[in-house]
Chain A
Amino acid sequence: MSQLYNKLLEDVRFQEGIKACINCGTCTAICAAAEFYNYDPRIIADTVQSRNEEKIENLLKSETIWYCGECMSCKTRCPRGNAPGLIIMALRALSQELGYFVESEKGRQQLFMKRVVGGWILTYGYCLYLEGIGTNMYAEQGPIWDWRQKNWGKVLDRLGANYKGEGNGILRKIPEEALDEIRKIFEVTGGTARFEKIEKFSKEKAEAMNLKFDDGIDNEYFQHIYSHNNNTHNIE
């Protein structure tokens, strides 16, 4: 029995995500990622159910597991009640746990997700925070966003927000004691440990890749993972 498979089984999402797959391709037919990446969720399911240690290890280090957009369209349709999207979530968790995520271009992007989304959650209590979404990094947000950027507070004010204010309302300042509770939850439940692992393995990888690594987003490694695309992801 594969050790990695046993690890995956510890994740309830994996237990929910795959019972037995019949390779019918219903998931792939409806998968948004399979349309635009060289990706096949059917094969993901088949690979994990092989319980082959080497194959699963390769999967955990592969680009493949990072293509899914977690829209969960596959769950609606599977005739066996499986959900490749949930399998993917379990694989991604394990890949980060073991540090395998840094072996792929797409996997390395987890540092971005950790520092940006993770950072916003712990700093502001929101998953997204407009001040970090500038048109310098998100040009497709367009001229209207440029205009908002020039007037963050005033536009929010116009639309009934309570930007950085006390009490209730849109984009209010979430009280420090509430944020402390969230941070404590992260510590108790393994969220902080996950973050630390992502940092540690990314730092090692940056050294191996000879890219400058530092805190924040203005460093070579971070900018590399954010924008680099080897353009082979949708080639057979």
Chain B
Amino acid sequence: MKDFGFTINKDRQIDMDTADMRVAEYVKTHEPSFNICIACGTCTATCSAGIFTDMNLRKLFTLVKRGEIANTRTEIAKCMLCGKCSLACPRGVNTRNVIVKINQALIKFSL
């Protein structure tokens, strides 16, 4: 194959037709409150890990729901499971357990 000095850039669109929804489905089944998140960001604002790292819990949840799980393992490793987020959530999402379930799913599906 010929080298032109560049390659065809990969598309970074989220493609919902081919997205890997296994983690999202697993979490929704085992921690149904994951469904009622309204992405308000209260969790992120109070997140201990978020203060010291670039972890964004609100965004992480959204990405999992879209099947964007390539970086989930690295991101979730920043969480200390302190559970402050669960206390802060205005919708009563058990955010701490969502993280636990995401972690379980990542192990289960070897991701």
Residues of A in contact with B (beta carbons under 8 Å apart) = 34-38, 139-140, 227, 229, 234, 236
Contacts and interface: CB of A to CB of B under 8 A. Distances in A.
B12 A140 contact: no
A35 B71 CA distance: 19
A35 B13 CA distance: 6
11 contacts: A35-B12, A35-B13, A36-B11, A36-B12, A37-B12, A139-B2, A139-B5, A140-B4, A229-B6, A234-B9, A236-B12
Interface residues on B, range: 10 to 19
Query: What is the interface of chain A mostly: helix, strand, loop, or mixed?
Result: helix
Contacts of A35: 11-13
A38 B13 CA distance: 10
A36 B71 CA distance: 18
Q: Which 9 A-B pairs have the closest CB atoms?
A: A36-B9, A139-B4, A140-B4, A35-B11, A35-B13, A234-B12, A234-B9, A227-B5, A35-B12
A37 B4 contact: no
B71 A236 contact: yes
A38 B5 contact: no
Contact of B12 (A38, A139, A227, A229): A38
B3 to A, nearest CB: 9
A227 B4 CA distance: 11
Given A139-B2, A140-B4, 18 more contacts: A34-B12, A35-B11, A35-B12, A35-B13, A36-B9, A36-B10, A36-B12, A37-B9, A37-B12, A38-B12, A139-B4, A139-B5, A227-B5, A229-B6, A234-B10, A234-B12, A236-B12, A236-B71
Nearest to B71: A236
A186 B35 CA distance: 60
Contacts of B6: 229
Nearest to B12: A234
A229 B7 CA distance: 11
A236 B70 CA distance: 11
A197 B5 CA distance: 29
A49 B26 CA distance: 40
A236 B75 CA distance: 13
Contacts of B71: 236
Contacts of B5: 139, 227
Contacts of A234: 9-10, 12
Nearest to B70: A236
Contacts of B10: 36, 234
B6 to A, nearest CB: 7
B11 to A, nearest CB: 5
Nearest to B68: A236
B13 to A, nearest CB: 6
Contacts of B4: 139-140
A227 B3 CA distance: 13
B73 to A, nearest CB: 14
